[in-house]
Amino acid sequence: MMKYIKWFWKYYKNHKRALAVLLIFSIFSAMLLTIQPLLLKNIFDLVKSGETTTVSLPYVNELIERLGGNDIGNYVLMLVGFAFLWFLVYVILVGHRAYMNVRLEMEFRQECFDAVTTKGPDFFNKFTTGDLVTRMTDDVGHDKLAWFACSGIFRFYESVILILFSLVMMLSIHPMLTLWTTLPLPVLVFIYIKSSTVLDKRFDFLQKKISKVNDTMEACFSGIRVIKSYVKEKDQRMRFANVADKRQTAEISAVKAHTVIESLWMYIWQIGIVIILLGGGYYIINGTLTIGEFVAFDSFVLFMIYPMFDVGNFLVKGLRAAVSIKRLVEIENHEPMVVNNNDGKKINGDGPEGRVTFENVHFRFPGMERDILDSLNFTAEPGERVALVGKVGSGKSWAARLIPQLVNPTEGKVTLDGCDLREYDVRNLRRHIGYVPQEPILFSDTMENNIRFGRDDISDETLNWAIDVAQLRPDLNGFPDGLKTMIGVRGMSISGGQKQRLGLARALVGQPKILILDDCTSALDADTEALLWDGLHEVMPDLTCFIVSHRPATLEKADKIVVLDEGKIVEEGGHIDLILKEGLYCKLYHRIMLEEAVGSPKPDKTMKNKNGKKTE
């Protein structure tokens, strides 16, 4: 229980004013409500016998007699006045609860999203996109965690206060009848104890099935081109129908358990009304209970019925909210692979020199037995082009990802100008590094915004320079709206080569000192790639460049080639020297040359005409 209170407190501590209103006004609401049946008691007693009876609470008797003065008119006015005051207090209370529901939902979702953006590749290997979407939408949604976080908790708080106040008043009127009225309580406690485990398992199972549905949709929509190419639409429809059917089964199972338990909790308490009618009638006939006391007693029991609904709702919805909290905490507790050093070294002035050194670098994911990278030792001098070459799975891309600190070495260190990368402020470090991954990630926005990527301080001159160096200008002129052209999600409306050139422009516009190209020129034709390298060398001669590539023309232009095999460096040197060694690099190079000679895929020369249609 305490862990959930601590989890909620980290959000509520930023809303202390709203919290104070909810705590205090809930008490006021219960007080104003429970005083009204006592006024009714006096009104009925005055009408029946001309005199009132007292309750065993002296201060309450004194207050009512002082304000009412045994006058029916005064008691009626007091009843209307207290009812109006209660209405005002309750409007404020409900308004604050509604506001906090919406506010907390936003904060839960934002906190979860912020946490996800700090995680490393191991996190996204564990959690699928659909699962994360479910946790940030369905789990924190209004009918689950968001409602419970405020309305669920504070309706329960208000209900408990109202029940306690009502019980005190009932005991002050007739203790024995009060005892008979509370007979359903042990039954309710038994139901909750027996049902809590069942509900927890069913709600957890349901959330996992919802995640599976979202994950299936995300995978289908992301790969829609491949699905259509292989005419697998029917298979995808069947796959979706299968997971949707399993979700429906889980939903029905959870709703059945929820409905049965909630109904039992809510309606067993109404047995108390039957007890009041039978027992109250008996005590009135015996003369130990007046008509006014019976009316007041009945009112207090009615006041307790709906609060008992809220108590039951709190217990049932609380189990569901607990499942959602566990799923959010699971994200929060997953340690990021790279933690920003806020007090770390900052690169100022013209930026770093660009000397990057790998010193006995090892890298593996947590829980893995084999190193992905093993004992890497090499140096890239400022202005050098270093090519990372190797078979598929040799660790080339992971070596490149160590430089912008997308991951950190598990042993050894990577240094920039002699300083361990972990000693730098990560955000500051990455401003001086341009990174273009194998699959350039583009967003549903204009081409200009995809290049600027939120860096509004970049001038139009720098933007146009990056476009020219990336060889994007000819393509850009073919778009109807130029830089203002909207591209679809993940750049589905443009070709592979255009994606790569746009990704290059995004990396270059920040004028980095270190550029990492992870096999990102594969869709460019030889002439375009040659123009790219010539442009880079001309305008940025001091740029340290790391290239992951197998293209012969690219490798021939490299100053240094590092050959990896199973995560280890097996060869290092210039292109000619490595060819003469006739080792692994020589074999890879000749195999690639042979593949190109036999018939490689046509280079990407896709353009768009004035109507925005792709042409060759």
Would 347 be classed as within a structural domain? no
Is 585:579 a contact under the CB 8 Å cutoff? yes
CA–CA gap between residue 215 and residue 53 (Å, rounded): 67
Would 257 be classed as within a structural domain? yes
Burial of 240 (0-12, 13-18, 19+ CB in 10 A): middle
Please indicate, yes or no, whether residues 282 and 393 belong to a single structural domain of this protein. Answer: no
Bridge partner residues of 387 (DSSP): 547, 561
Please give the tally of structural domains in the chain.
2
Please indicate, yes or no, whether residues 363 and 314 belong to a single structural domain of this protein. Answer: no
Please indicate, yes or no, whether residues 250 and 384 belong to a single structural domain of this protein. Answer: no
Last residue of a domain, one of 300, 332, 364: 332
Domain of 106, CATH number, reads 1.20.1560.10
pLDDT of residue 256: 85
Would 337 be classed as within a structural domain? no
CA 13 centroid distance within chain:
21
Bridge partner residues of 615 (DSSP): 607
CA–CA gap between residue 561 and residue 411 (Å, rounded): 23
Please indicate, yes or no, whether residues 271 and 378 belong to a single structural domain of this protein. Answer: no
* φ and ψ at residue 38, rounded to 5 degrees: -70, -35
pLDDT of residue 389: 92
Domain of 385, CATH number, reads 3.40.50.300
CA 1 centroid distance within chain:
23
pLDDT of residue 155: 92
One-letter amino acid for residue 107 of the chain? E
Would 343 be classed as within a structural domain? no
pLDDT of residue 605: 44
Please indicate, yes or no, whether residues 320 and 378 belong to a single structural domain of this protein. Answer: no
Residues of the chain whose pLDDT is less than 70?
Answer: 56, 68, 185, 189, 192-193, 196, 265-266, 269, 272, 490-491, 521-526, 539-540, 599-616
Render pLDDT for 76-95 as a digit per residue (tens, 0 to 9).
Answer: 898 899 999 999 999 999 99
Give the closest residue to 93 by CA, choosing from 176, 158, 49. Answer: 158
Please indicate, yes or no, whether residues 307 and 423 belong to a single structural domain of this protein. Answer: no
Dihedral sign, Cα of residue 470, residue 474, residue 475, residue 476: positive
Is 124:407 a contact under the CB 8 Å cutoff? no
CA–CA gap between residue 502 and residue 519 (Å, rounded): 14
Please indicate, yes or no, whether residues 250 and 288 belong to a single structural domain of this protein. Answer: yes
Please indicate, yes or no, whether residues 207 and 328 belong to a single structural domain of this protein. Answer: yes
CA–CA gap between residue 416 and residue 79 (Å, rounded): 78
Please indicate, yes or no, whether residues 297 and 367 belong to a single structural domain of this protein. Answer: no
Name the CA dihedral angle for 124, 125, 126, 131, rounded to a multiple of 10 degrees.
50
Please indicate, yes or no, whether residues 304 and 372 belong to a single structural domain of this protein. Answer: no
Would 5 be classed as within a structural domain? no
Would 27 be classed as within a structural domain? yes
pLDDT of residue 41: 85
Please indicate, yes or no, whether residues 317 and 414 belong to a single structural domain of this protein. Answer: no
Residue 107 has a CB neighbour count (10 Å cut-off) of 18
Please indicate, yes or no, whether residues 284 and 371 belong to a single structural domain of this protein. Answer: no
Would 346 be classed as within a structural domain? no
Measured over all CA atoms, what is the biggest interatomic distance in the chain, rounded to whole angstroms?
Answer: 119
Question: Strands, DSSP E only, in 309-463?
Answer: 356-363, 373-380, 385-390, 411-416, 419-420, 433-436
Is 344:424 a contact under the CB 8 Å cutoff? yes
Give the closest residue to 206 by CA, choosing from 144, 294, 148. Answer: 144
Would 4 be classed as within a structural domain? no
Last residue of a domain, one of 332, 348, 365: 332
Residue with token string 């001091």: 542
Instruction: Quote the pTM value.
Output: 0.75
Give residue 400's domain range: 356-615
